[in-house]
């Protein structure tokens, strides 16, 4: 049996390596907040969410397949969680069964006994899945869940359970092991074959030894350890093939429940995220994926999901129409929401290509083969060289992994050098990426870089600008406008300067008070001041 809840015709490779740049993606896009919301404190769900989110698919049909399954999961969360708990319980049962199987030190008989116990536990869990399928199969609409539940009902029939139970009962060999063998030329045993039991009942004549014998038997004395070992060896040779087949069946069911736990776990994590997001005033929608060979990007009220999860106040969304634009350059006011928008784009791309919903009213984008981020880094003691060298080193590493139809997000890249040099480096890199059919979003304060594309390549470039209000406040909204030669850093300067001025005034007042007290020969209580005087002094 197969689950096929993440792909229509194959299993998800849970052992595949994470993308080369997975640490940068998690750091730059602040995905840890998103992943923790999906995991809801469960380490296994955190790992499942990370693997599926970062290993997105670039096939539109696969994305839509997952979206339909997730829509069903959101509509019937209790059923999805019940099936997930059955898969978890099936794997936990293994820990409670004292006998294992398959070890190199085990005999075939001990292997068989352990495998039978595990199979009995797995069969009990399969019965629970069958019951859930019988009760809820007609409630789902997605092809993935309907096929999954239909397969459970067809393959886990009452006849199947009855037959398996009978086989497991026989494999306990409570009436002894019945097998046949031949003698070789040297009188050694060969061709050991396990036989189906013919019945343990014997006639009264046979039990009393009256009449012709149909077989001969002997009894090994209790203290004859050598004889007992010989019988043990004979039994092992007879049941060796059966023991291996039974152990393989137990391994098959273990693999099935392992994969089922993984795939159902992803949808449980998605439901967890949905529950968290809908608590916020944040829109949610399933995105529309466009084919790999197209250039599409448009959104309505797109918001940064991690910021929305962290913030107690409403998060500002953005409306952008960028279909056909291979390059998006974002400029404008400092602290105006440029980096936040860039993170929202990156997170939405990963969420879309993993089959998740996005935090927007509408979202449409072409799928990409891979996502890369090149965000500004603060200098710290771990750097082996200057910040500019570090930026070039990361860009070189990204270039080694680039391929056509990727998406690269730049955030204040190459800020470790002067305006002219940084602009020229950025300009040449972006041109090379565009020539290789790689889509680019770039947040920049380099006016020379932005202006050069505005003058020469405006036909395939979308220019977004984070504006400031007339009073200097930020709207945190981006608009399609040409770049300006200023980022309004003066606003921040005066805001910071006002705070410093207030702190300096308070420090001077405190120093004057201390000096006055030091000059006074006799300490006396300070004169009382009314509220207006206190306020004026502050």
Instruction: Report pLDDT digits (tens) over 498-516.
Output: 545 555 556 666 666 656 6
Q: What is the DSSP string of 459-515?
A: GGEEEEEEEE-TTS-EEEEEEE----S---HHHHHHHHHHHHHHHHHHHHHHHHHHH
Cα(156)–Cα(180) distance, rounded to whole angstroms? 34
Q: Which of 416, 398, 418, 415 is nearest to 407 (CA)?
A: 398
Cα(404)–Cα(348) distance, rounded to whole angstroms? 20
Q: State both tokens at 110.
A: 């001990």
When pLDDT is cut at 50, 70 and 90, the band that residue 407 belongs to is very high
CB 291 within 8 A of CB 61: no
Looking at mean pLDDT, say which of 5-9, 312-316, 489-493 comes out highest: 5-9
More confident residue, 472 or 408: 408
- Residue numbers of the domain that contains 353: 288-491
Q: Which ranges of 285-440 does DSSP label H, i.e. alpha helix?
A: 305-310, 338-353, 387-401, 419-435
Residue 506 covered by a domain: no
Cα(294)–Cα(391) distance, rounded to whole angstroms? 30
Residue 254 covered by a domain: yes
Residues 271 and 325 in one domain: no
Q: What is the DSSP string of 54-121?
A: HT----HHHHHHHHHHHHHHHHSHHHHHHHHHHHHHHHHHHHH-S-----TT--HHHHHHHHHHHHHH
CB 327 within 8 A of CB 434: yes
Q: Is the pLDDT of residue 103 over 90?
A: no
CB 445 within 8 A of CB 309: no
Residues 356 and 266 in one domain: no
Residues 482 and 388 in one domain: yes
What local confidence, expressed as pLDDT, does residue 216 receive?
65
The tokens 């670039």 sit on which residue?
A: 58
Residue 101 covered by a domain: yes
Q: Is the pLDDT of residue 247 over 50?
A: yes
Residues 295-308 have a mean pLDDT of: 96
Residues 253 and 359 in one domain: no
The pTM assigned to this predicted structure is 0.82
When pLDDT is cut at 50, 70 and 90, the band that residue 76 belongs to is very high
Indicate which CATH number applies to the domain containing 347. 3.40.50.300
Residue 298 covered by a domain: yes
Residues 296 and 380 in one domain: yes
Q: With pLDDT > 90 as the criterion, what percentage of the chain qualifies?
A: 59
Residues 298 and 435 in one domain: yes
Residues 383 and 259 in one domain: no
* Model pLDDT for residues 256-297, shown as the tens digit of each residue: 999 999 999 999 999 999 999 999 889 999 999 999 999 999
Residue 206 covered by a domain: no
Residue 481 covered by a domain: yes
Is residue 326 classed as helix, strand or coil in its secondary structure?
coil
Give me the number of domains the chain comprises.
2
User: What average pLDDT does the structure give for the chain?
Assistant: 85
């Amino acid at each position: 049996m197969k689950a096929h809840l993440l792909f229509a015709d194959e299993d998800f490779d849970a052992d595949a390596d994470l993308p080369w740049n997975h640490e940068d993606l998690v750091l730059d896009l602040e995905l840890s907040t998103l992943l923790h919301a999906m995991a809801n404190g469960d380490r296994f769900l955190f790992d499942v969410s990370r693997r599926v989110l970062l290993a997105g698919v670039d096939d539109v049909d696969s994305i839509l397949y997952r979206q339909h399954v997730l829509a069903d999961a959101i509509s019937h969360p209790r059923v999805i969680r019940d099936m997930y708990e059955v898969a978890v319980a099936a794997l936990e049962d293994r820990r409670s069964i004292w006998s294992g199987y398959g070890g190199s030190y085990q005999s075939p008989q001990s292997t068989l006994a352990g495998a039978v116990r595990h199979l009995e536990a797995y069969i009990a869990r399969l019965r629970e899945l069958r019951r859930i399928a019988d009760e809820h199969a007609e409630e789902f609409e997605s092809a993935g869940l309907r096929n999954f539940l239909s397969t459970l009902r067809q393959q886990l029939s009452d006849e199947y359970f009855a037959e398996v139970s009978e086989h497991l009962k026989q494999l306990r060999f409570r009436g002894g092991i019945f097998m046949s063998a031949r003698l070789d030329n040297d009188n050694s045993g060969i061709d050991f074959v396990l036989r189906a039991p013919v019945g343990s009942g014997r006639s009264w004549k046979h039990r009393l030894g009256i009449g012709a014998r149909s077989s001969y038997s002997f009894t090994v004395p209790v203290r004859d350890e050598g004889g007992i070992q010989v019988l043990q060896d004979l039994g092992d040779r007879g049941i060796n093939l059966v023991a291996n087949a039974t152990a393989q069946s137990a391994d098959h069911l273990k693999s099935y429940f392992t994969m089922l736990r993984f795939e159902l776990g992803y949808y449980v994590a998605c439901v967890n995220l949905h529950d968290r997001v809908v608590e916020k005033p944040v829109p949610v929608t399933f995105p529309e994926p466009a084919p790999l060979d197209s250039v599409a990007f448009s959104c309505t009220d797109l918001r940064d999901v991690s910021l929305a999860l962290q913030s107690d106040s409403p998060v500002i969304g953005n409306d952008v129409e960028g279909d056909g634009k291979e390059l998006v350059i974002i400029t404008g006011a400092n602290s105006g929401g440029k980096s936040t928008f860039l993170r929202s784009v990156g997170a939405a791309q990963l969420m879309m290509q993993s089959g998740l919903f996005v935090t927007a009213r509408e979202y449409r984008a072409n799928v990409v083969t891979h996502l890369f981020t090149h965000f500004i880094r603060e200098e710290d003691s771990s750097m082996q060289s200057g910040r500019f060298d570090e930026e070039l080193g990361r860009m070189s590493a990204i270039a080694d992994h680039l391929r056509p139809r990727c998406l690269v997000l730049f955030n204040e890249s190459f800020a470790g050098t002067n305006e002219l040099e940084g602009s020229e480096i950025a300009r040449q890199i972006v041109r090379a990426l565009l020539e290789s059919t790689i889509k680019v979003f770039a947040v920049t304060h380099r006016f020379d870089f932005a202006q050069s594309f505005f003058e020469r390549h405006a036909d395939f470039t979308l220019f977004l600008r984070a504006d400031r209000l007339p009073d200097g406040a930020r709207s945190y909204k981006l608009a399609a406008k040409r770049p300006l030669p200023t980022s309004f850093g003066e606003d921040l300067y005066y805001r910071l300067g006002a705070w410093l001025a207030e702190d300096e005034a308070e420090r001077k007042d405190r120093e004057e008070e201390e000096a006055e007290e030091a000059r006074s020969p006799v300490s006396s209580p300070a004169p009382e001041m009314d509220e207006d005087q206190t306020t004026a002094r502050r």
